Amino acid sequence: MFDHLSSLPPDPILGLLASYRADENPGKIDLGVGVYKDEAGHTAVLQAVKEAETRLLQSEETKAYIGPAGTPGFNTVMQELVLGAGHPALLGGRVRSAQTPGGCGALRVLAELINRAKAGATVWVSDPTWANHVPLLGNAGLHIKSYPYYDRATSSLQFDKMVETLKNVGEGDVVLFHACCHNPCGADLTREQWKVLAEMAQKQGFTPFIDMAYQGFGESLGDDAYGLRLMAESVPEMLVAASCSKNFGLYRERVGLAMVIYANGEAADKGQSQMLSAIRGNYSMPPSHGAAIVESILTDAGLKANWEAELTEMRERINSLRAGLVEGLVAVDAAGEFGFIRQQKGMFSFLGISLEQVQQLQKDYSIYMVDSSRISIAGLSSNNMEYFCRAVASVL
């Protein structure tokens, strides 16, 4: 049966990680994998997570299935984290959600739901967008188109071109937006720009689909959700995929939320039955452990305060690294203008160098980044910053 299958190339980022691990240079730097790292280059378990996990292990009395939707408690606290307690959509009984295996699981479940509502529907994604958006949505049967977003030549958002393209998108189409900390470019929409897009969605009738993988990594938990919450107040229907991988550090636990805002309660009940059917026919039901940790943290005032403090520390460190990188490149007289890196948000930015220069950094300096020159800022530290800046200056 399988003899006719051909080999596919490895995922670019996973392949890069394998090369990095095989490199024996003690000064090597990994800027490819999108995970938060501390000053020692370690992705540590948050203290709030450790405490919640300890309590969970002491109190958990069963390992029985939790059902396709996950636990009601998790869904409730995540809805409030994403939308804010008291959001009109929540008060109106128009929101339904399901716990999923990570943000990827949420994206795929929601893609399946879209395809059930309109087979082969068109989803518009930003250019560039996270590479896995295309297979996650496209493999569910959806048609993918792109809208302009980031101008690599000027290292800036091209909002006017974005708006001109989206003016042609109407009812029946879906538009995917990044809530904050855009992956891969780090250039986020302003509040005024979100208002323009919300008005367009309301007027034209397209359905917003918002991916929020980095809430709390940009400005704050509330500020990072501004555009999402505004959009949810403006349109009758909306989809949201949220992830707990970054802000809770639960990467390997795979904790996500698929959330839909419907026009009314009756439509919400019907839609939820379809989403649960899609889940049942896919992975049947999600794992419990990671989501139970999140629920414990968000329902305990002390744990929640500790978590928010740790999240703030991570965010401020990333912002400090951005500023340090710009200053470091200036200090070594690196050719070019890199001030945009300081203005962007989250873990990622395009360095703006050529493929040949990316390859030279890997070959001569054991510095690993994807071919597009997208770097994970969290892979830098005070220990390797000067080395990195001098290496970049040399290839420029």
Q: Is the pLDDT of residue 206 over 90?
A: yes
Q: Name the percent of the chain in helix, strand, coil, to the closest 5.
A: 45, 15, 40
Interval 231-244: pLDDT, tens: 999 999 999 999 99
pLDDT value at position 13? 79
pLDDT, average across residues 336-358? 95
User: What whole-number distance in Å separates Cα of residue 194 and Cα of residue 152?
Assistant: 22
Which residue type is seen at 31? L
pLDDT value at position 236? 97
Which residue type is seen at 29? I
pLDDT value at position 34? 87
Q: Which of 173, 224, 246, 307 is an active site residue?
A: 246
pLDDT value at position 18? 86
pLDDT value at position 8? 85
pLDDT value at position 256? 98
User: What whole-number distance in Å separates Cα of residue 132 and Cα of residue 379?
Assistant: 21
Burial (Cβ within 10 Å: 0-12, 13-18, ≥19) of residue 213: buried
Q: Which of 30, 124, 130, 345 is an active site residue?
A: 130
Q: Which of 211, 224, 307, 345 is an active site residue?
A: 211
Interval 157-191: pLDDT, tens: 999 999 999 999 989 999 999 999 999 999 999 99
Q: Is the pLDDT of residue 9 over 90?
A: no
Instruction: Identify the band that residue 316 occupies on the pLDDT scale cut at 50, 70 and 90.
Output: very high
Which residues share a beta bridge with 239?
A: 209, 260
pLDDT value at position 372? 94
Interval 94-139: pLDDT, tens: 999 999 999 999 999 999 999 999 999 999 999 999 999 999 999 9
**Residue 90: C-alpha distances to residues 60, 79, 195, 311 (Å):** 30, 8, 21, 25
Question: Are 166 and 202 in contact, with CB atoms under 8 Å apart?
Answer: no
| 246 part of the active site | yes
Question: Are 177 and 133 in contact, with CB atoms under 8 Å apart?
Answer: no
| 194 part of the active site | no
Residue (of 293, 174, 311) closest to 238 by Cα position: 174
User: What whole-number distance in Å separates Cα of residue 220 and Cα of residue 215?
Assistant: 7
Question: In whole angstroms, what separates CA 347 from the centre of its chain?
Answer: 10
Burial (Cβ within 10 Å: 0-12, 13-18, ≥19) of residue 23: middle
pLDDT value at position 16? 86
Which residues share a beta bridge with 144?
A: 123
| 211 part of the active site | yes
Q: Is the pLDDT of residue 10 over 90?
A: no
Instruction: Identify the band that residue 11 occupies on the pLDDT scale cut at 50, 70 and 90.
Output: confident
pLDDT value at position 220? 97
What average pLDDT is seen over the chain?
Answer: 96
Secondary structure letter of residue 273 according to DSSP: H
Q: Is the pLDDT of residue 33 over 90?
A: no
Burial (Cβ within 10 Å: 0-12, 13-18, ≥19) of residue 266: exposed
Q: Is the pLDDT of residue 392 over 90?
A: yes
**Residue 206: C-alpha distances to residues 121, 176, 199, 269 (Å):** 11, 10, 11, 21
Instruction: Identify the band that residue 342 occupies on the pLDDT scale cut at 50, 70 and 90.
Output: very high
The pTM for the full model equals 0.95
Which two structure tokens, joined as six digits, stand for 9? 């190339």
Interval 43-88: pLDDT, tens: 999 999 999 999 999 999 999 999 999 999 999 999 999 999 999 9
Percentage of the residues of the chain whose pLDDT score is greater than 90: 94
Residue-range domains of the chain with CATH: 12-44+311-395 (3.90.1150.10), 65-299 (3.40.640.10)
Percentage of the residues of the chain whose pLDDT score is greater than 70: 100
